[in-house]
Amino acid sequence: MLRLPKFKYLAPQSIEEACSLLRKHGGQVKILAGGTDLLPSMKQKLFTPEYVLDLKQVPGLDKIESGADDEMKIGSICTLRMLEESPVIQKYYPALSEAAGLVAATQVRNMGTIGGNIALETRCRYFNQSNVWRKSVDKCIKRGGNVCHVVRGAKRCYAYFAADTVPVLLAFKAMIRVRDSQGERQCHLKEMYTHEGKNPNTLKPTEVITSVNIPLPESESGSCYEKFRIRKAINYPSVGVAVNVIMDGDTCKDLKIVLGAVGSGPIEVTEAEKLLKGNRVTEEAIEKIGSMAQKAAQPVENADATPAYRRKMAGVYAKRALRKAISRAGVPFHK
């Protein structure tokens, strides 16, 4: 039986209690939401926190609400299954329902949360291995050592960004709300990510994500998430592409394309956004955007499929996602 290392279990009954416990125990606590990333990693002795704080006992973090301030508020403990099946999300943010529904498998989506996906650890075939396996190689940068087994001479960790929902949330220009014992702060979700594999986000050990907030969709907007992985289920993305497009007839008013899994952070293909914004959508433009996405992807040899293939697929899937998103534009939002 593959067993967890020992820890003390904390089950706060309110968000205030959770924050106060996080403050008290500083960097000795790991937050448990769905547990589908944390517990397997702990079994592999990648993390051995003294405390595990179960956030699922805290009420009020599991709602999807359309707020008064022109935004959709999604509680951080909402499960991926909730997002996949929510009629509101399916209708107005189809890419988010798609992305949530493509994560892993049914069981993982019943347990896993959007907050957990936002704060997901980066991955690498030299990191996500058992204790015994890792003892046979030098300690890598992500483990606190000073060598990278993927990129020779690397000055930073190249573990890849594995979350499916984050590129979509970024394409929707999401804001994130984070809380600690001092209070709540809000920032653009994209400011959270460092593009570095060892510490992929700026969350402090004393902080908890409370919600992610997405602006209400404009009329004539369409979105899509495309995921490339070796198997049809279970796997993390080898490439993920999220597109959100706001149209005005056949002219593109605004475009966001974000790549996942091909870097240590989510990659916004800003060149593509500039190309199409304010212009008519033509086949030529879509082809150009495919090349831009391909160039923007920066995969290394630490996941399924070769870097060259993943770069190529970034282009292919970007074009697919863009075409689908454009065809979906035209769903007006009624409050």
Partner 1 sequence: MEKQVVTLKINGEECELAIYSHRTLLEVIREEVGLTGTKQACGLGACGACTVLVDGEAVLACSTLALSVQGKDIRTVEGLTEGKELSHLQKAFVEHWAIQCGFCTPGMLMSITGLLSKNPHPEEDEIKKSISGNLCRCTGYTKIIEAVKSVAERGNR
Nearer to partner 1, 68 or 132 (CB): 132
Q: Does 28 bind partner 1 (CB under 8 A)?
A: no
Binding range to partner 1, per CB under 8 A, among 7-15, 134-142, 154-162, 170-178: 7-15
Q: Is 9 in the site for partner 1 (CB under 8 A)?
A: yes
Helix (H, G, I), strand (E, B) or coil at 282: coil
Is 21 a binding residue for partner 1 by CB under 8 A? The answer is: no
Of these, 19, 29, 46, 52, which contacts partner 1 (CB under 8 A)? 52
Could you give the dihedral angle defined by the CA atoms of residues 45, 43, 212 and 60, in that order, rounded to the nearest 10 degrees? Answer: -120
Task: Judge whether 300 and 141 are in contact, CB under 8 Å.
Answer: no
Q: Does 306 bind partner 1 (CB under 8 A)?
A: no
Q: In whole angstroms, how far apart are CA 140 and each of 156, 222, 261, 266, 329?
A: 10, 42, 20, 22, 45
Cα(254)–Cα(278) distance, integer angstroms: 7
110 binds partner 1 (CB under 8 A): yes
The binding track of 236-275 with respect to partner 1, each residue x by CB under 8 A or -, is: ----------------------------------------
Residue 11 touching partner 1 (CB under 8 A) = yes
Q: Which residue's CB is nearer to partner 1, number 33 or number 209?
A: 33
Those residues whose C-beta lies under 8 Å from the C-beta of residue 173, and which sit 6 or more positions away, are 188, 214, 215, 256
- Dihedral angle sign, alpha carbons of residues 227, 230, 236, 239: negative
Q: Are 245 and 95 in contact (CB under 8 A)?
A: no
Nearer to partner 1, 108 or 224 (CB): 108
Please work out, in degrees rounded to the nearest 5, the angle formed at the alpha carbon of residue 298 by the alpha carbons of 294 and 304. Answer: 95
**Site string (30-49) toward partner 1, x via CB under 8 A:** --x--xx--xx--xx-----
Residue 302's CB is within 10 A of a number of other CB atoms, namely 21
Residue 88 binds to partner 1 (criterion: CB under 8 A): no
- Binding pattern to partner 1, positions 56-85, x when CB under 8 A? xx-----------------------x----
CB 329 within 8 A of CB 247: yes
Q: Nearer to partner 1 by C-beta: 1 or 132?
A: 1
Please state the closest distance from residue 184 (CB atom) to partner 1, in A: 25
Other beta carbons within 10 angstroms of residue 87's beta carbon come to 8
Contacts with partner 1, residue ranges (CB under 8 A): 1-9, 11, 32, 35-36, 39-40, 43-44, 52, 54, 56-57, 81, 104-108, 110-111, 232-234
